[in-house]
Structure 1
């Protein structure tokens, strides 16, 4: 077993992509997992993979853009496992369109899922993290650092999430609780697929992304490695860690 044996880890958005990879990698490290997702079948498949790696797993089905689910999620995880050691705020949504086509529903969906959810999950988890001297990793995006057309509201949520990471880490440090952010570049996941309205627009988008990342595309487990590193590193807090294939270099 690894360093995280019997640690209780919450991973939101664990039904696919980065969240699923992170849950599986923590399972291999001996963690107990509380995983969330919107799709029962996909989350169940992710849970099976974690259990196959030897983990005890509890599933929570719910939309984190719905505010009432946030406190419920934390309470249910504590009721199940009795503690929280690590919170991975991974769940999020994206929308690829210019500002002139953004309506208020799209705007609110992005901010509720990408920013409000991690802020309040962190707030509700903090009393338990103080006890365990645990940590939080927010899954942000390189889009929170560099500006891109047609991603402005999404980028705003991630930039704000990074600022939350820095500010909240300073509030948590006196309690021995660490807060960090991981900022992926282009990773092919269900979220990135959902940003495109057609196969042709997806093809063009992928071609643009290939040119921007000198090291090429990133897979979800490479992001998970960074997340686990931030959880291992006992003197790292307030850090914004980019794993972007060199995208920042070409911006």
Structure 2
């Protein structure tokens, strides 16, 4: 039974680095990776936010390590990856799940939005994802394999009001995803983006939907119901659904997928 269970693990013997591992998405995906046999290296700017996640993974029998890393600082990222290589020998998956607090960035008309607030998500997301992808690829290309992964919500593709520069930043991430694949897939390094709806289970979306509801002068429950009704399923993406697809896409079973977006929007976006 144990041997069969090990054989069924999609990410057995894989080493995975997760940036922003203390957030709802990063922590959920990290747990999913560990459950499927990966050794996970959790990073965040504050160690306290990932200690709880690490303890949960360890208690479940997973292999986990933590480190303070700022995904916007190339030196911080490269030094950590060098340490991972020295420790584990290779890096198989890099999943960047960093987020930006929405206060002051969303729920504000463009005519009232300061330029700095518009630019912050564009520059932050583009810089962080470029740094983490570039740093991982420098190790992945010589070994001939690896997966770069990122996550965007539906405004990366669908035009919605009062999202500020966030939608532009998320669209830039998806463009970067395609560009990374164009250069690196020939060397065995895949680049994948997962696109979801806003996930109402996450604290961030609770705040975001509150900002939008206030801007529209309606109750938050009404705004949430309105957004949910846009999907074919009449319900948003669940964290468990995102995690399951992330695990599959990180595995060798998805070896033909690169430079693309996994559409988990439940029909808000129809490809």
Q: When the two structures are superposed, what TM-score results if normalisation uses the length of structure 1?
A: 0.89
Q: Is the 8 A contact 1:7 1:85 kept in 2?
A: yes
Q: Is the 8 A contact 1:27 1:51 kept in 2?
A: no
Asked if 1:137 corresponds to 2:144, the answer is no
Cα distance in 2 for residues equivalent to 1:107 and 1:67: 23
Aligned-pair CA distance for 1:13: 1.6
Cα distance in 1 for residues equivalent to 2:66 and 2:113: 33
Q: Is the 8 A contact 1:184 1:223 kept in 2?
A: yes
Asked if 1:109 corresponds to 2:130, the answer is no
Asked if 1:193 corresponds to 2:200, the answer is no
Cα distance in 1 for residues equivalent to 2:168 and 2:213: 27
Task: Report the counterpart of residue 206 of structure 1 in structure 2.
Answer: 224
Cα distance in 1 for residues equivalent to 2:92 and 2:109: 40
Distance of aligned partners of 1:13 and 1:205 in 2 relative to their CA distance in 1, 3 Å threshold = farther
Q: Is the 8 A contact 2:123 2:169 kept in 1?
A: no
The one of 240, 244, 247 equivalent to 1:221 is 240
Q: Secondary structure at the match of 1:58?
A: strand
Distance of aligned partners of 1:103 and 1:63 in 2 relative to their CA distance in 1, 3 Å threshold = farther
Q: Secondary structure at the match of 1:245?
A: coil
Aligned-pair CA distance for 1:183: 0.6
Asked if 1:36 corresponds to 2:43, the answer is yes
- Out of 11-20 and 173-182, give the one that drifted further: 11-20
Task: Report the counterpart of residue 235 of structure 1 in structure 2.
Answer: 256
Cα distance in 2 for residues equivalent to 1:7 and 1:157: 30
Q: Secondary structure at the match of 1:152?
A: coil
Task: Report the counterpart of residue 182 of structure 2 in structure 1.
Answer: 170
**1:145-174 alpha-carbon deviations (Å, 9 max, x no partner):** 111101131111111111111111010111
Cα distance in 2 for residues equivalent to 1:174 and 1:98: 43
Q: Secondary structure at the match of 1:150?
A: coil
Cα distance in 2 for residues equivalent to 1:208 and 1:59: 39
Cα distance in 2 for residues equivalent to 1:221 and 1:5: 20
Distance of aligned partners of 1:4 and 1:138 in 2 relative to their CA distance in 1, 3 Å threshold = same
Task: Report the counterpart of residue 183 of structure 1 in structure 2.
Answer: 195
The one of 72, 91, 111 equivalent to 1:84 is 91
Aligned residues: 249
Q: Secondary structure at the match of 2:232?
A: coil
Query: Could you say what the CA RMSD is over the residues aligned between the two structures, in angstroms?
Result: 2.2
Distance of aligned partners of 1:77 and 1:98 in 2 relative to their CA distance in 1, 3 Å threshold = farther
